[in-house]
Amino acid sequence: MTGGAPLPRERGPLSAAVLEVLRGGGPVRGPDAAAADPFGDDLQLALYLAYEPHYRDLAGVAAEREWDPALLGLRRPMEEAFLAALRAAVPAARAEGADGGVAAAVEELLVDPVDGEGVSYRLAADGDWRGVREYLAHRSLYQLKESDPQVWLIPRLEGQAKASLVAVAYDEFGGGRGERVHARLFAELMEGAGLDSSYGRYVDVAPAATLATVNVMSLFGLHRALRGAAAGNFAVLEITSPPGARRMVKALERLGAQERCLRFFEEHVEADAVHEQVMRRDVLGDLLAREPGLAADVAFGIRATVWLDERWDAAVLTAWDAGRSSLREPLPEPPAGLGDRAG
């Protein structure tokens, strides 16, 4: 990686202020985060950019900016606004038994209707390359740093929950083999779909609904006080992954995609069948046995993740149904020969 990820264009006063601090450092009078739409483009892009120095280089941004008090000062009110809006929006956990609604929330995740609504259902049924490529561009914001936001959780766990979370993470990071790191498999999938796999390439065209699905992981992961919600978030990713991945394999096979396009999803059909069990029984189970007080937060983490995912699905499908791109700008036409099954 040379030069770092490109900086996207600002989308309002909050993102403009964060970009100014990233480029130059030093205090910037922050606009009022509480006045912004907590799920809107400006706040979500600003928050995304405020988190990014924790993960990767940004073009023209000093690595030291990660702990710049000016950046952290802008970030905090945005996090508070986002978190408050999530708590208000997410359906309250039904207080079932002593587990704060965790079992009920997990139970709902395990239901995968055959005729469900959602982007992967649509792509499996009749998706074309244009749809698949948009899906991959959205997902690239997270998948090119897959599991990085979840490993903030490791020092915040103990005992079996820690051991089991690390066992899952070991697979996410390739089981000791660099070429099997899931983020690497996703990059190969993008390349096989004729997309640019460089990190951060599609941030500028990603709508707020996409940014929010990644920001919630950074928010939960970077705050020890939210470790219960972070565990709930990770559990959702692992539990809902195999059926979604199966649908994407179906879509890609129908389109005659190259072998390198299938590997990422095939890996997730297989590995996540095991991860699902480990996350439920050994990570959530052990965490709640140690810290029963976290139950409501675990349930909140699960429900907030599902709520943001469903919102993203709805936004993408609404755009497609209206004949529009689901990105802020349409991607170039798919290159010829994508479905040739070569490579």
Do residues 74 and 21 lie in contact, with contact meaning Cβ atoms separated by under 8 Å?
Answer: yes
In the complex with Fe ion, which residue's Cβ is closer, 99 or 172?
A: 172
Examine residue 282 and tell whether it contacts Fe ion (CB under 5 A): no
Residue 257: strand, helix, or coil: coil
Examine residue 172 and tell whether it contacts Fe ion (CB under 5 A): yes
Q: Nearest CA to 206 among 11, 2, 3, 4?
A: 11
Do residues 229 and 304 lie in contact, with contact meaning Cβ atoms separated by under 8 Å?
Answer: yes
Examine residue 272 and tell whether it contacts Fe ion (CB under 5 A): yes
Give the interface segment with Fe ion, choosing from 107-115, 166-174, 276-284, 330-338 (CB under 5 A): 166-174
Residue 319 to residue 322: CA distance in whole angstroms: 5
Nearest distance from residue 139's CB to Fe ion, in Å? 12
Give the interface segment with Fe ion, choosing from 69-77, 213-221, 235-243, 327-335 (CB under 5 A): 235-243
Nearest distance from residue 271's CB to Fe ion, in Å? 5
Nearest distance from residue 48's CB to Fe ion, in Å? 21
Q: Note the Cα 46 to chain centre separation in Å.
A: 16
Give the interface segment with Fe ion, choosing from 71-79, 172-180, 244-252, 303-311 (CB under 5 A): 172-180
Nearest distance from residue 186's CB to Fe ion, in Å? 9
Which segments of 52-101 does DSSP mark as H helices, in order? 69-89
Where in 3-22 is the site for Fe ion (CB under 5 A)? none
5 phi and psi, to 5 degrees? Answer: -70, 145
In the complex with Fe ion, which residue's Cβ is closer, 79 or 238?
A: 238
Residue 124 to residue 245: CA distance in whole angstroms: 10
In the complex with Fe ion, which residue's Cβ is closer, 42 or 272?
A: 272
Examine residue 182 and tell whether it contacts Fe ion (CB under 5 A): yes
Where in 236-265 is the site for Fe ion (CB under 5 A)? 238
User: Considering only residues 139, 156, 275, 303, which one is a binding residue for Fe ion as defined by CB under 5 A?
Assistant: 275
Do residues 58 and 64 lie in contact, with contact meaning Cβ atoms separated by under 8 Å?
Answer: no
DSSP state of 263: H
Examine residue 188 and tell whether it contacts Fe ion (CB under 5 A): no
Tokens of 272: 């996540």
In the complex with Fe ion, which residue's Cβ is closer, 144 or 295?
A: 144
Nearest distance from residue 193's CB to Fe ion, in Å? 18
Residue 5: strand, helix, or coil: strand
> At 269, which helix (H) or strand (E)?
helix 259-277
Q: Nearest CA to 79 among 46, 41, 31?
A: 46
Q: 251: buried, middle or exposed (CB in 10 Å: 19+, 13-18, 0-12)?
A: buried
Residue type, 171: D
Residue 136 to residue 5: CA distance in whole angstroms: 17
Examine residue 280 and tell whether it contacts Fe ion (CB under 5 A): no
Residue 236 to residue 278: CA distance in whole angstroms: 12
Examine residue 148 and tell whether it contacts Fe ion (CB under 5 A): no
Nearest distance from residue 31's CB to Fe ion, in Å? 37
Nearest distance from residue 264's CB to Fe ion, in Å? 8
In the complex with Fe ion, which residue's Cβ is closer, 238 or 313?
A: 238
In the complex with Fe ion, which residue's Cβ is closer, 215 or 240?
A: 240
Residue 71: strand, helix, or coil: helix
Number of shown-chain residues binding Fe ion (CB under 5 A): 5
In the complex with Fe ion, which residue's Cβ is closer, 182 or 184?
A: 182
Nearest distance from residue 146's CB to Fe ion, in Å? 5
Nearest distance from residue 316's CB to Fe ion, in Å? 21
Q: Which residues bind Fe ion (CB under 5 A)?
A: 172, 182, 238, 272, 275
